[in-house]
Amino acid sequence: MADAPDTNLQQESRRPCVACCEPIFPQARTCPHCGTEQRPVPSLWKRFGTILKWVGGITAILSLIASTIQLNGLWQNARDTSRAVEGLLRASEIQQQAGQLDVALDLVRQALELEPGSSSANHRQSAIAMLLIRQYNIYFGFEHGDEINPLLEILYRGSGQREPRDGADVVAHIGLATLLASSSSAASHGERSDGW
């Protein structure tokens, strides 16, 4: 009877085979009953490491999905802004053809608020400013100096953003606008109004 408790102790210290479920020693690499190779029981730290790897992988996938959604939103925003700028510039061109230069200039300002670096909007703004300066020179002479100063600012910005040939045209209009503004200021102070 002394063998019976010893046999139960041996039974309790054994683990089941991964294939046939017969009791085998915990250190056995193969089952003596079916010959199946036994996998070692993973340690707690190894299980924890595996869980962390899965959590990290899932987090990376979720981050990738979230960033893709954000990039798509940014791209959509940029596309919508570009379309709005194109619409404002088309409306500005229509207003310019109708002779409404102040309205056209305001539409271009709105386009530049949406997309400050738009070269087409900057180009159009300079072109309209040059038209307005020529219009002030022809129709009003030296009476509207206050309205010329904002146009001068537009031309100064436009002078550096154009082709060299166009730059010369902008510089010529800067000279004309400066003459008109200074003559307007001289006329308001009672000085000569002929510009000299």
Q: Tens digit of pLDDT per residue, the chain (196 long)?
A: 445 555 555 556 788 888 898 999 888 888 999 988 887 666 778 888 889 999 999 999 999 999 999 999 999 999 999 999 999 999 999 999 998 999 999 999 999 999 988 888 988 998 999 898 888 776 655 455 577 788 888 888 877 766 777 778 888 888 888 887 777 655 555 544 444 4
Phi, psi (deg, nearest 5) at residue 142:
-105, 20
Tokens describing residue 57: 């992988």
Structural domain for 119, as ranges:
57-188
Report the half-sphere exposure of 25 (CA within 13 A, side-chain side).
5
Could you tell me the pTM of the whole model? 0.57
> Quick one: pLDDT at residue 192?
46
The answer as to whether 35 is a domain residue is: no
Sign of the C-alpha dihedral, residues 18, 21, 22, 26?
A: positive
Question: CA-based Rg of the chain, rounded to a whole angstrom?
Answer: 41
CATH number at residue 143: 1.25.40.10
Give the total number of structural domains in the chain. Answer: 1
Q: Has residue 99 been placed in a domain?
A: yes
Identify the pLDDT of residue 43: 74
Yes or no: say if 40 and 60 are a contact pair by the CB < 8 Å rule. Answer: no
Give the pair of three-digit tokens for residue 179: 């003459």
Q: Tokens 């904002």 identify what position?
A: 150
Asked, for residue 23, whether it belongs to a domain, the answer is no
Assess if residue 136 is contained within a domain: yes
Tokens of 107: 């539409």
Question: Is residue 43 domain-resident?
Answer: no
- Asked if residue 12 belongs to a domain, the reply is no
Q: Which helix (H) or strand (E) holds 87?
A: helix 44-97
CA distance 51 to 42: 12
Q: What's the CA gap between 194 and 19, in Å, rounded?
A: 109
Has residue 170 been placed in a domain? yes
pLDDT in the model for residue 162: 60
Q: What is the pLDDT of residue 193?
A: 45
